[in-house]
């Protein structure tokens, strides 16, 4: 059941109705039932056993850990710590098995081949449980947060189940922390009139980005990737894919967050106008925010706080100076962070490099070259606060981001580099025109302008609040234009695959 399909909206309407009719204290039951139903329809009942096992481990480990810490049992062995480690390893193991097994098998065979041995490892036919990449990180965060005393464990098993499989987040996230949604999830609130309208508006905006822009861009990008296009056409394809990805993923998030808002449940934002980022570090603070925050809190900081690295940091500071010493320590943390991000996206070098290590290289490169950059700006008297300079930074950042994720789109690293090599051949930009009708190109341009305007508006104030203050006819015209843009210009119907959200594959 794709979240852009009529079936999903009919399901959402029924669940919302039930949610409103049921007494407030029992409303979370409705959500639990809906989530189980959603899981079975979109996933598999058989694989739910795996999810249930992960839920049991996280639930049990957290309660046990909390009990031991409260009882203050003092022993030489930190049993709470061991239990937490085991529980986290179990979750990581499940994720690695379902997502990375074939990556290890393939590279294992390559290694065996390099060592002159026969490649005897077989690829596995593995189907992953629905949403495993998202809920596993949520469980790991939960287990660690309970251990660190950040949050108290949930003692009601069914309530805890709901946290993990809450249906709006099963397809593409966001990656939620227990403490972020605990209050709203079980409170049984529902949106007031304005909240209800805002939720619907957000869903509509998400549908516009997904159906009108992203899905219209997709066949064009696909054609450029697989066809005989060279020079600037390839670059346009690269930028086009990044744009498509942004529209697809952020559109999905808008639908998910909007749907959740109807139930009075505020989920964490996953995007904060990444087009306005002036550096790659900033881009990743505005793009897939929940993943970035997760790896920062549960990978990078724990690594930086390890005794080994702290000792090394002291030595480096002594040897290379305080500033450089600190940077070098951070680079170690960043390396593992980006490695995890890359691996999370998928079991292939294209993801490990394209969604991960590329950013590590760019960020490090930027930091190393920073003094040279500053010298150039000073010598050329570039006004760094000017609109032009900011625009240049934003364009540069988007181009670099697009360049990295182009590898994620390629079938292999070789294909990725081969595609980039095509950039250096002569161009014929007009060869792009037949890839879509005039009407489609027009819509893509208008869509981009609208998205940019909304993003610009968001920098100043909440767009929905801004529109809500306008006169009724103005508001209605805007809503109707958006609604009919989706109904008439949206890419859906016979021949289209409603289920294909790009981040759904993760």
Partner 1 sequence: MKTKQRHITKIIAFLLVVALLFGGAVQVLRISDDTHSRAEFDTFYRLDKNSLDAVWIGASAVQSSFIPSEACAHNGVQMYGLGTASQPVALTKYLLQEVQKTQDPKVYLIDIRMLAYDYDVMGNEIFCDNYIRRVTDSMRFSHNRTQAIKDMVERLEKKTGSRVNAFDYYFSFTLYHNRWSQLTAADFGQDADSFMGYYIYDDTESFDKQETLARRSAKPLEVSSDNQQYLEELLDYLDTFDGNILFTNTPNNLEEDKFANYNYIKKKIEDRGYEVLDLNDHVDEIGLDYETDFNENMHVNYRGAFKITDYMADYLKEKYELPEHEKETDSIYEKTQERLLSRTEEMEKRNE
Q: What are the residues binding partner 1 (CB under 8 A)?
A: 6, 193, 437-439, 476, 479-480, 483-484, 487-494
Tell me how far, at minimum, the Cβ of 471 lies from partner 1, in Å: 13
Burial class of 295 by CB neighbour count within 10 A (0 to 12, 13 to 18, 19+): buried
The CA–CA distances, whole Å, from 263 to 6, 30, 189, 385, 442 equal 19, 11, 7, 42, 37
Long-range contacts of 473-480 (CB under 8 A, 24+ apart): 479/201, 479/204
Nearer Cβ to partner 1 (372/488): 488
Tell me how far, at minimum, the Cβ of 442 lies from partner 1, in Å: 8
Tell me how far, at minimum, the Cβ of 213 lies from partner 1, in Å: 14
User: How far is Cα 259 from Cα 256, in angstroms, rounded to an integer?
Assistant: 5
Nearer Cβ to partner 1 (368/487): 487
Q: Which two tokens stand for residue 404?
A: 């990295």
Helices (H), 227-279: 232-262
Tell me how far, at minimum, the Cβ of 439 lies from partner 1, in Å: 3
Nearer Cβ to partner 1 (150/482): 482
Tell me how far, at minimum, the Cβ of 493 lies from partner 1, in Å: 4
**What are the backbone dihedrals phi and psi of residue 271, each rounded to the nearest 5 degrees, phi first?**
-135, 145
Nearer Cβ to partner 1 (230/479): 479
User: How far is Cα 331 from Cα 342, in angstroms, rounded to an integer?
Assistant: 16
User: How far is Cα 461 from Cα 245, in angstroms, rounded to an integer?
Assistant: 25
Nearer Cβ to partner 1 (202/394): 202
Hey, CA dihedral for 339, 164, 250, 179, is it positive or negative?
negative
Nearer Cβ to partner 1 (191/343): 191
Contact 58, 87 (CB under 8 A): yes
Nearer Cβ to partner 1 (388/434): 434
Tell me how far, at minimum, the Cβ of 466 lies from partner 1, in Å: 19
User: How far is Cα 134 from Cα 136, in angstroms, rounded to an integer?
Assistant: 6
Nearer Cβ to partner 1 (266/475): 475
Nearer Cβ to partner 1 (379/438): 438
Tell me how far, at minimum, the Cβ of 488 lies from partner 1, in Å: 5
User: How far is Cα 223 from Cα 165, in angstroms, rounded to an integer?
Assistant: 37
- Residue labelled with tokens 């950040």: 150
In whole angstroms, how large is the CA radius of gyration of the chain?
A: 24
Tell me how far, at minimum, the Cβ of 193 lies from partner 1, in Å: 5
Q: CA nearest 458: which of 243, 282, 269, 273?
A: 273
Tell me how far, at minimum, the Cβ of 498 lies from partner 1, in Å: 11
Tell me how far, at minimum, the Cβ of 431 lies from partner 1, in Å: 22
Q: How many other CB atoms sit within 10 Å of the CB of residue 309?
A: 16
Give the CB-side neighbour count of residue 176, counting CA atoms within 13 A.
Answer: 30
User: How far is Cα 437 from Cα 66, in angstroms, rounded to an integer?
Assistant: 61
DSSP letter (8 states) at residue 461: S
User: How far is Cα 131 from Cα 57, in angstroms, rounded to an integer?
Assistant: 17
Tell me how far, at minimum, the Cβ of 257 lies from partner 1, in Å: 21
Nearer Cβ to partner 1 (97/196): 196
Nearer Cβ to partner 1 (6/399): 6
Contact 452, 275 (CB under 8 A): yes
Q: Which two tokens stand for residue 88?
A: 């986290």
């Amino acid at each position: 059941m794709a979240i852009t399909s009529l079936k999903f909206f009919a399901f959402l309407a029924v669940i919302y109705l039930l949610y409103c009719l049921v007494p407030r204290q029992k409303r979370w039951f409705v959500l639990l039932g809906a989530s189980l139903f959603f899981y079975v329809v979109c996933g598999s009942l058989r694989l739910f056993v795996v999810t249930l096992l992960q839920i049991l481990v996280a639930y049990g480990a957290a309660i046990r850990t909390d009990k031991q810490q409260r009882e203050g049992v003092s022993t030489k062995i930190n049993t709470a710590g061991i239990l937490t480690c085991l529980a986290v390893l179990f979750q990581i193991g499940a994720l690695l098995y379902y997502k990375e097994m074939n990556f290890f098998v393939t590279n294992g065979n390559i290694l065996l081949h390099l060592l002159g041995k026969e490649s005897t490892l077989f690829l596995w036919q593995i189907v992953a449980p629905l949403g495993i990449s998202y809920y596993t990180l949520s469980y790991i965060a939960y287990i660690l947060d309970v251990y660190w005393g950040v949050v108290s464990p949930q003692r009601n098993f069914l309530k805890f189940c709901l946290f993990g499989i809450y249906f709006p987040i099963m397809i593409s996230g966001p990656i939620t922390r227990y403490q972020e949604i605990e209050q709203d999830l079980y409170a049984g609130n529902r949106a007031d009139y304005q909240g209800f309208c805002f939720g619907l508006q957000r869903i509509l905006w998400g549908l516009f980005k997904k159906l009108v822009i992203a899905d219209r861009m997709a066949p064009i990008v696909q054609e450029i990737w697989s066809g005989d296009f060279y020079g600037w056409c390839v670059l346009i394809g690269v930028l086009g894919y990044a744009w498509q990805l942004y529209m697809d993923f952020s559109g999905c998030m808008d639908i998910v967050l909007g749907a959740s808002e109807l139930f009075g449940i505020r989920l964490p934002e996953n995007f904060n106008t990444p087009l306005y980022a002036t550096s790659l570090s900033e881009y990743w603070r505005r793009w897939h925010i929940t993943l970035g925050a997760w790896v920062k809190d549960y990978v990078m900081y724990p690594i930086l706080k390890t005794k080994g690295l702290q000792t090394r940091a002291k030595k480096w500071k002594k040897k290379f100076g305080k500033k450089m010493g600190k940077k070098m320590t951070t680079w170690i943390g960043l390396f593992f962070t980006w490695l995890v991000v890359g691996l999370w996206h998928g079991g292939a070098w294209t993801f490990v490099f394209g969604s991960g290590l590329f950013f590590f290289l760019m960020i490090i490169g930027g930091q190393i070259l920073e003094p040279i950059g500053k010298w150039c700006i000073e010598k050329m008297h570039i006004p760094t606060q000017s609109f032009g300079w900011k625009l240049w930074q934003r364009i540069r950042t988007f181009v670099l981001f697009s360049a990295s994720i182009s590898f994620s789109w390629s079938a292999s690293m070789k294909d990725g580099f081969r595609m980039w090599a095509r950039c250096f051949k002569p161009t014929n930009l007009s060869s792009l025109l037949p890839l879509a009708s005039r009407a489609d190109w027009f819509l893509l341009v208008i869509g981009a302008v609208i998205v940019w305007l909304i993003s610009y508006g968001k920098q100043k104030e909440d767009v929905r609040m801004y529109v809500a203050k306008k006169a009724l006819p103005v508001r209605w015209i805007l809503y109707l234009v958006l609604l009919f843009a989706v109904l008439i210009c949206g890419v859906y119907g016979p021949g289209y695959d409603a289920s294909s959200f790009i981040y759904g594959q993760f």
